[in-house]
Structure 1
Amino acid sequence: MGVPFEALLPYGIVLVMFGVSGVGLSKLRHMQNGGKRPRYAIDQWDRVMMDRDRRLTGYLRGQTDRVAAPAGFEVNNPWRVEERYF
């Protein structure tokens, strides 16, 4: 006895929507990384270097080959300082 194809339509729709959302999230993550592959097992050194790259280029995964830092980088301190109460 055959199964009517109308009974399989909801399963097909759900499968297609899972595929579309997976591809969309993958593309979004790819765009957020500046077109680079995602990084895994990021340790403290990698976080420091990624923060430095973000301060230099404006992008978390951006890198530059310029020898001199851009103007304003000398006052761009990554340390968070407490607010003073006077």
Structure 2
Amino acid sequence: MGVPFEALLPYGIMLGMFAFSAVSVGKLKEMQNGGKKTRRGMDAWDRLQQMLERDRRLTGFARGQTDKAEAPAGFELNNPWRMEQRYI
């Protein structure tokens, strides 16, 4: 005796919802990264917050890169590293 297809409908619905949510989360992460796939296996250099912040300020995305040789106007005064005040 076979299994009626009505018994398999809940499993199909659950599988469809899992697939929909996985695709949705993947697409959302891709949109947040400027159309690039998410980073995996980041090394110590990539984890430096200053480098990710610098890329974000230059291009608008943490994963963005630019081929311009010169920084935009005002970028040289927008340094994330704070200098100590010297005593005179």
Q: TM-score range by the shorter chain?
A: 0.7 to 0.9
Paired AA for residue 68 in structure 2 = R
Are 1:46 and 2:46 counterparts? yes
Return closer, same or farther for 1:28/1:80 CA change in 2, 3 Å cut-off: farther
Return closer, same or farther for 1:40/1:80 CA change in 2, 3 Å cut-off: farther
Q: Note the residue ranges of structure 1 that are not aligned, 5 or more in a row.
A: 82-86
TM-score by length of 1: 0.78
Percent sequence identity is 68
Q: Which position in structure 2 is the counterpart of 1:76? A: 78
Alignment equivalent of 1:57, drawn from 53, 56, 59: 59
TM-score by length of 2: 0.77
* Counterpart-to-counterpart distance in 1, 2:44 and 2:73: 27
RMSD (CA atoms): 1.9
CA contact (8 A) 1:56 1:69 kept: yes
Return closer, same or farther for 1:52/1:44 CA change in 2, 3 Å cut-off: farther
Q: How many residues align?
A: 81
Q: Which position in structure 1 is the counterpart of 2:86? A: none
